[in-house]
Structure 1
Amino acid sequence: MCGVLAATAVIYFYNLTASGWANSFYSAAAQAGSVNWEAFFFGSSDAANSITVDKPPAALWVMALSVRAFGLNSFAILLPEVLMGLATVGIVYSMVRRHFGAAAGLLSGAVLALTPVAALMFRFNNPDALLVLLMTLGAWGTMRAVEKGSIKWMALVGIFLGFGFLTKTFQVFLVIPFVGIAYLVAARTTLKRRLLGLGVGLGAMILAGGWWVLIVQLVPASARPYIGGSQDNSFWNLTFGYNGFGRLSGNETGSVGGGGGPGGGSGGGMWGVTGITRMFGSEVGSQVSWLLPSALILLGAGIAFRGRSPRTDLRRAAYLVWGGWLLVTALTFSFMAGIFHQYYTVALAPAIAAVVGMGATEAWERRHHAVGSITLSVATAAAATWSFILLTRVTAYGDWLRASVLAIGMAAAFLLLALNWLHHKAIPLVLAGAIAAGLAGPAAYTWSTVNSTHTGSIPAAGPGGMGGMGGGGGAPGGGRGNVPAVRDGAAPGGATRGAGGGMGGLLDASTPSTAVVSALESGAGDYTWVAAAIGSNNAAGLQLATGKPVMAVGGFNGSDPSPTLAQFQSYVKAGKIHYFVAGGVGGGGGRSSGSGSQISSWVTAHYKKVTIGGSTFYDLTQPTSSSSSSSAS
């Protein structure tokens, strides 16, 4: 185990800070939480608590505590993600090893560590790293509950999954069906206690995930930040709409609009082609599916191998937990019509890794029988063939890698059929060839991933990976990410301009010039917000550069009705906001609607336009006609 974790640590820590702020949207919220406990609790975008991010705050809590401990820098932001990745690899290794042996654990750990999307997201500050860790802890707790017939362990499972809800709401629920089924079917206790254990687990999950929600709902709206991502300042609207059933149906009020594949395709929506082949398609396949065909083969074989086992058989219970996780999550991702990005598939990585390790071990134990050798051979051939296909989709590695993978994999698959006739000294070489053929492709993609910078809201793994709607942007300590920006040109003063213009963009923040930072910091103590900008990423770059609160008008997309025009006018009248950022998401032909557009129109008509470091702002302390303008160095 130490060797697996050490190797994973080397991979995941390598070149870590090159990604700078990574997702500036969450980095800015972590900065806010590191200096203000109210912002910490609610998950506010800024320390003055104007609006929250569009997710519950559990992932932000971890980052904010790290920033409090190590200061505001890229390493402090991304360190927790790497540690979560190491913990996830360690748990998968330990779980598989416990019931299938050390070799199975090592294989599972290696598969997980080398899955490209895992190497991406365990080095990136989206909520998915914590979500996957908590889901994996839930699976671990379930197996211990099954093994011991323990109600207490099921309560712990509920706690893990409840905090998963506070990380990314309903996505954690994808593992619940087979967690419950495994305990109900296989737990070593009476039916009455199994039913009681399910009830206790459900109750613990509600308590662990509901306490924060209850507090938020009980606090008057006037005494807390606006709930970002909702259209009525309600966490329930955010949970059941934008982050809930809207993700499945595609009916997401406040969504940024389509991304995905060209035109959506047959059976597709705004976010790309949906259907049973989605996990293997050109956008998603190279992120996570390298060993997915083999995992499905090994899952079917493993369940068949355990078909006549006793009810309490722990290996069959493991197939129920991990296999159910794999199937439910893959099918949900395949058919959901709402917002979908490639990096979501990191939720599949632990399940694929565990099933591969478990199924390969079961087949190896039956290698002297036709069923075992055929299973190993077919799984190896599937891995080599699918890796060859995925590698033909890119030019980064030339022909040699895909040709080698196919040749070595097919040779190993053939020789696995003849294990009974091979010299015993040749068998390790055959196994090494099979493993190499399965892992060479994802290892190459993982190496490309850790050698690249990743910034913005939609990162992707691999060589020159590209998210569904782009990303990228300026980042401290590193260049642009491997996700090309959706840009409309270079902003004045050297700042890179993201989608929509202004000081940042819809999907990433830019780095403001020294002159801009100096102007915002000047007299900052006299204002609640040193600036306001439409869209969270437009605000994030300024906030991270200055360490001062910047109001994100309209939240992430600029489409949330917060603040209203009347509220914004009252803030300006009270002298709480210094500058308004021109342009940006919505503010000058961008994406915002409702109050964001109204605010932008009102500001441009009534306040003096100033140019600072080549960028345009409106000084909200200087009311004037719309025709007046001045420049400041």
Structure 2
Amino acid sequence: MTTENSLRWRRLGVCALLLGTAALYLWRITINGMANAFYAAATQSGSTNWKALLFGSLDPNNFITVDKPPLAQWVMGLSGRVFGFGSASMLVPEALMAVGTVALLYAAVARVGGPRAGMLAGAALALTPVAVLMFRYNNPDAAMVLLMTAAAYCTLRALEPARGARWLAMAGVALGLAFLAKMLEGLLIAPALAATYLIAAPVAVRTRLCHLAAAAAAMVASGGWFVLLTAWWPASSRPYLAGSTDNDFMNLVLGYNGMARILGRNHEVTVPELADVPDLGTQVRGWSRLLAGEFAYEIGWLVPASVVAVVVVVIARGRAPRTDRVRAATVLFGGWLLVDGLVLSYMHGTVHPYYSLSVAPAVAAMFAIGLQQTWVHRESRYQRALFVLMSLGTGVWSWWVLGRNAHWLPPLRWAVLAVAVLAAAAALGVPARRRVAAAAAATVAVAAALAGSGAYAFATAVTPHHGGAPSVGPARRGVLTAQRGRSVVDVDLDALLEATHTDWSAAVDRSTNAAVLELATHTAVMAIGGFSGLDPTPTLAQFQRDVSEHRIAYYVATSTGSQLGRNARSHNDIARWVAFNYAARRVGTDLVFDLTVPPRQP
């Protein structure tokens, strides 16, 4: 085949990969509706108020933010401003981020392993169930992973002569923006990027260190400007930074979204209706977490083969030059998988299985690089056996994972096992010199390895998902999708809040309760205590002042109650003050206090 024809087929293959990804991720995307109401309410607010968009406010009158940085809200909010707020305008940008992530991963892996390896990496990522779940959802994870993958791509480009400093600086910028998507989780890839450049860049050690310092400065600049903005902007004229204890952004970074996530502080499940949700319940903490429970369905399909691939490639390239690109890519993606995977596996705090999206590109890349490296050296029986080990092992593991949901398409798991075994036998038995037959056997073996993950990915795409703890795949017995707080709104309460003309139509405990009310009524609702209910805002004095100035129409005591824990004393004080001074009436399942009437006389 001529070079021109080869290039044409390569372009067609890439187009097919990206169009297929777009079709899968955009197909019936609005079945997820508002997805996570918490972020949907912030998107709605950002689509109507510029300050709310800038800070990621939950409500358009800027009482409190969501408990994450606002980068993802910027994308969805701007889309809402252009196209009008709705499910499609909010979720389509997330799906397009998937296409961008697949394209970047293809480009990164293809630079070291060739176009076929790049195609396999892109396809493996596109068919990862947690990727299908979260790139069709409105959580900030999609934007974070897109930027992490961009940083990986830029780092591999930085290993090329002449433009290393520029590309490494771009990697730093991408990491800083990933920080603005989901704080420290977006920076977990940084050690792998730094190690890769320090080991493999084709320049002197001193130059490498200088380039890394410049990239670190670029990262601080691209993420740090927002930190400075929140510090310099008067606190009295911006929303409270949810999740912080003192309205300081770095407190949120290092506390609630930092060490508290890892050590488990202040991340207890305090809401009764979430006690039975699998991913918020008891989890096995340790090295096997990514292979057990809900994690296995979301990310575990290719993890064993990817870990084997890291070991195999590092050993095989042990005597290669320092600047060897394949080993460098393995340090990058293997290091990413190691650091991020260990944090996910051993963290004590609330850990949703969908957090595993952060390692999905690394898993897909190592799966592809490992298979490509063993395939190109298939003349060696040892390398051919390793290829069979990874492909057949993945097929057998998929058979096992599918068996844990045995009532769903029972024939599928046996078909995966049968095809994987037959293809592995053919790949092992066909002589390497019979290139067409060997390639056909290898292709079938790889397809069987991806079949389980792919089937769950398609099932995820066609199943509606809602709330704060979505799960992949088809609906499963005993598995609930829960939204913290209220899930429905009474039509009478809707009408009551829609008729108000105050700054906030109502005040209610916790952001998720406020979010559902905002989405239903298109009014601003004050979220007392933020997402966890533990944020020290508003104080009783602040709440009393807002009531006296007629800025809040109603106080809603929801059916989920105000079980905010020991640290919510100030919010319980608000509830007691309201109950003592104002009469309540029941609207649906809620108690509603009218704050526009004069309080009771003592």
Matches within 5 A, 1:447-596: 447-464=458-475, 483-485=480-482, 505-506=484-485, 509-524=486-501, 527-587=502-562, 593-596=568-571
CA contact (8 A) 1:380 1:409 kept: yes
SS at match of 2:573: helix
1:219/1:254 CA distance change after superposition, 3 Å: farther
Matches within 5 A, 1:334-373: 334-373=345-384
SS at match of 1:284: helix
SS at match of 1:48: coil
1:425/1:222 CA distance change after superposition, 3 Å: closer
CA contact (8 A) 1:162 1:205 kept: yes
Is residue 2:119 matched to residue 1:142?
A: no
Is residue 2:333 matched to residue 1:322?
A: yes
Instruction: Name the aligned partner's letter for residue 237 of structure 1.
Output: N
Q: Which segment drifts farther, 74-83 or 183-192?
A: 183-192
Provide the rounded CA distance (Å) in 2 between the counterparts of 1:528 and 1:399: 55
Partner of 2:120: 107
Partner of 2:249: 235
Provide the rounded CA distance (Å) in 2 between the counterparts of 1:70 and 1:277: 44
Deviation of the 1:464 alpha carbon: 2.1
1:399/1:465 CA distance change after superposition, 3 Å: closer
Is residue 2:65 matched to residue 1:90?
A: no
1:122/1:269 CA distance change after superposition, 3 Å: closer
Provide the rounded CA distance (Å) in 2 between the counterparts of 1:614 and 1:269: 26
Provide the rounded CA distance (Å) in 2 between the counterparts of 1:589 and 1:40: 28
1:406/1:259 CA distance change after superposition, 3 Å: farther
1:591/1:9 CA distance change after superposition, 3 Å: farther
Partner of 1:630: none
Provide the rounded CA distance (Å) in 2 between the counterparts of 1:258 and 1:167: 29
Deviation of the 1:463 alpha carbon: 1.9
Instruction: Name the aligned partner's letter for residue 26 of structure 2.
Output: F
Partner of 1:488: none
Matches within 5 A, 1:299-448: 299-420=310-431, 424-448=435-459
1:397/1:427 CA distance change after superposition, 3 Å: farther
SS at match of 1:283: helix
Partner of 2:5: none
Provide the rounded CA distance (Å) in 2 between the counterparts of 1:26 and 1:398: 34
Q: Which segment drifts farther, 378-387 or 399-408?
A: 399-408
Provide the rounded CA distance (Å) in 2 between the counterparts of 1:256 and 1:85: 33
CA contact (8 A) 1:56 1:169 kept: yes
Deviation of the 1:414 alpha carbon: 2.5
Deviation of the 1:513 alpha carbon: 3.9
Q: In structure 2, which of residues 271, 282, 287 is the aligned counterpart of residue 276 of structure 1? A: 287
Instruction: Name the aligned partner's letter for residue 562 of structure 1.
Output: T
Partner of 2:8: none
1:391/1:259 CA distance change after superposition, 3 Å: farther
Instruction: Name the aligned partner's letter for residue 521 of structure 1.
Output: E
Q: Which runs of 5+ in 1 are unaligned?
A: 471-481, 486-497, 499-504, 628-633
Partner of 2:9: none
1:589/1:603 CA distance change after superposition, 3 Å: same
Provide the rounded CA distance (Å) in 2 between the counterparts of 1:310 and 1:326: 24
CA contact (8 A) 2:172 2:217 kept: yes
Deviation of the 1:255 alpha carbon: 6.8
Provide the rounded CA distance (Å) in 1 between the counterparts of 2:419 and 2:500: 67
CA contact (8 A) 1:302 1:359 kept: yes
Deviation of the 1:567 alpha carbon: 0.6
1:68/1:271 CA distance change after superposition, 3 Å: farther
1:422/1:253 CA distance change after superposition, 3 Å: closer
Deviation of the 1:153 alpha carbon: 1.3
Q: TM-score, normalised by structure 1?
A: 0.88
Partner of 2:190: 176
Q: Which segment drifts farther, 320-329 or 604-613?
A: 604-613
Deviation of the 1:25 alpha carbon: 0.4
1:257/1:199 CA distance change after superposition, 3 Å: farther
Provide the rounded CA distance (Å) in 2 between the counterparts of 1:325 and 1:61: 27
SS at match of 2:596: strand
Q: Which runs of 5+ in 2 are unaligned?
A: 1-13
Is residue 2:76 matched to residue 1:76?
A: no
Provide the rounded CA distance (Å) in 2 between the counterparts of 1:528 and 1:261: 35
How far does the alpha carbon of each residue in 1:97-123 deviate from its partner, in whole angstroms, 9 at most, with x for none? 222112111111110000000000000
CA contact (8 A) 2:97 2:146 kept: yes
How far does the alpha carbon of each residue in 1:360-384 deviate from its partner, in whole angstroms, 9 at most, with x for none? 1111110111232011011012101
How far does the alpha carbon of each residue in 1:54-82 deviate from its partner, in whole angstroms, 9 at most, with x for none? 11111111111011011111001111110
Deviation of the 1:234 alpha carbon: 1.8
Provide the rounded CA distance (Å) in 1 between the counterparts of 2:144 and 2:280: 26
Is residue 2:226 matched to residue 1:212?
A: yes
Provide the rounded CA distance (Å) in 2 between the counterparts of 1:99 and 1:204: 26
Deviation of the 1:518 alpha carbon: 2.6
Instruction: Name the aligned partner's letter for residue 136 of structure 1.
Output: T
Instruction: Name the aligned partner's letter for residue 102 of structure 1.
Output: P
User: What is the aligned-residue identity percentage?
Assistant: 41
Q: Which segment drifts farther, 609-618 or 45-54?
A: 609-618
Is residue 2:15 matched to residue 1:7?
A: no
SS at match of 2:299: helix
Instruction: Name the aligned partner's letter for residue 318 of structure 2.
Output: G
Partner of 2:235: 221
Provide the rounded CA distance (Å) in 2 between the counterparts of 1:58 and 1:368: 49
Provide the rounded CA distance (Å) in 2 between the counterparts of 1:626 and 1:83: 58
How far does the alpha carbon of each residue in 1:501-560 deviate from its partner, in whole angstroms, 9 at most, with x for none? xxxx43xx5343443333222242xx1111111111111112112222111111012221
Q: Which segment drifts farther, 138-147 or 618-627?
A: 618-627
Q: Number of aligned residue pairs: give it.
A: 588
Instruction: Name the aligned partner's letter for residue 393 of structure 2.
Output: A
CA contact (8 A) 1:255 1:557 kept: no
Partner of 2:44: 31
Instruction: Name the aligned partner's letter for residue 239 of structure 2.
Output: P
Deviation of the 1:127 alpha carbon: 0.6
1:424/1:253 CA distance change after superposition, 3 Å: closer
Is residue 2:185 matched to residue 1:185?
A: no
Is residue 2:575 matched to residue 1:600?
A: yes
SS at match of 2:472: coil
CA contact (8 A) 2:558 2:589 kept: no
Deviation of the 1:620 alpha carbon: 0.6
Provide the rounded CA distance (Å) in 2 between the counterparts of 1:203 and 1:238: 22
CA contact (8 A) 1:19 1:454 kept: yes
Q: In structure 2, which of residues 165, 169, 172 is the aligned counterpart of residue 158 of structure 1? A: 172
Provide the rounded CA distance (Å) in 1 between the counterparts of 2:564 and 2:53: 33
Instruction: Name the aligned partner's letter for residue 496 of structure 2.
Output: A
Instruction: Name the aligned partner's letter for residue 594 of structure 1.
Output: R
CA contact (8 A) 1:32 1:46 kept: yes
Is residue 2:107 matched to residue 1:132?
A: no
CA contact (8 A) 1:67 1:77 kept: yes
SS at match of 2:505: strand
1:263/1:45 CA distance change after superposition, 3 Å: closer
